[in-house]
């Protein structure tokens, strides 16, 4: 067992069993298509600095 209390908390968290909505499925499909098409990604730090 991990000694880190946060890791223990995460390990003990219940599984998210909510069904995926049609909107979420569409968003996932869009991202997968972009990745397959070679669309460049934007690093999170860059997004964060622009919108902070």
pLDDT, one tens digit per residue, over 1-52 is 568 999 999 999 999 999 999 999 999 999 999 999 999 999 999 999 999 8
Q: Tell me whether residue 51 is in a domain.
A: yes
Considering the domain boundaries, does residue 6 fall inside one? no
Residue 31 inside a domain? The answer is yes
- Distance from C-alpha of 31 to C-alpha of 25, rounded to nearest angstrom: 10
- 33 lies in some domain: yes
Q: Is residue 29 part of a domain?
A: yes
In the chain, the number of structural domains is: 1
State how far the Cα of 21 lies from the Cα of 47, in Å rounded to an integer: 26
DSSP state of 35: H
Model pLDDT, residue 52: 81
Q: Is residue 5 part of a domain?
A: no
Give me the domain span that covers residue 27.
Answer: 19-52
Q: Quick one: pLDDT at residue 2?
A: 65
In angstroms, the CA 47 to CA 39 distance is: 16
**H/E element holding 46?**
helix 44-51
4 part of a folded domain: no
């Amino acid at each position: 067992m991990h000694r880190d209390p946060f890791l223990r908390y995460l390990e003990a968290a219940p599984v998210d069993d909510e069904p995926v909505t049609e909107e979420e499925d569409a968003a996932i499909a869009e991202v997968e298509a972009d990745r397959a098409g070679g669309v460049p990604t934007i690093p999170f730090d860059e997004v964060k600095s622009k919108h902070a």
